[in-house]
Amino acid sequence: MSDFVERFAAQLVEAGMTRMPARVFAALLASDTGTLTSAELGEQLQVSPAAVSGAVRYLSQQHMVSREREPGSRRERYRVHSNQWYEALTNRDAVIKRWSDALREGVASLGPDTPAGRRLAETLAFFDFVQDELVDMMERWQVRRQELFGS
């Protein structure tokens, strides 16, 4: 399992994720239950509790993991869900919307007929296209997921 965790984490790092969140995410993804405590993650990855805490904070903000309290305990478990990629991409939809809004303002401010305005307009058109496609793709994925894995 540790070979997979390190190889997959390296792929996530290559795609832009920082190293420790990538390792924590890969470890959670590879665990049978999809949940691990901070101590379990620290032991498995040979890292400090502070490193795990920072990684989990980042992954939580990206909607890639969630925190759960163990019943009757102060200890938290961290969980990766089967639909974590769906959630992460859905969260990106909001980011793309904010970028599009800023680009619209930029086009209006710079003027659509200036070289910079045209460049911003093309970027805006791309983000609008991606946003439309993302919505349709997510709907198709829900149907496909149901077909493949049931509810």
What count of other Cβ atoms lies within 10 Å of the Cβ of residue 71? 5
pLDDT for the residue 1: 67
8 Å CB contact between 66 and 91: no
pLDDT mean over 94-119: 94
- 20-75 tens-digit pLDDT: 999 999 999 999 999 999 999 999 999 999 999 999 999 998 888 999 987 887 88
pLDDT above 80 (res 88): no
What is the pLDDT of the chain when averaged over all its residues? 91
pLDDT above 90 (res 140): yes
pLDDT above 80 (res 90): no
Any residues with CB less than 8 A from the CB of 101 and at least 6 apart, and which?
A: none
**Domain locations along the chain:** 2-79, 84-149
pLDDT mean over 105-127: 96
2-79 belongs to CATH 1.10.10.10: yes
User: What is the rounded CA–CA span in Å between residue 13 and residue 20?
Assistant: 9
pLDDT mean over 88-110: 89
pLDDT for the residue 119: 97
User: What is the rounded CA–CA span in Å between residue 135 and residue 140?
Assistant: 9
pLDDT mean over 79-104: 85
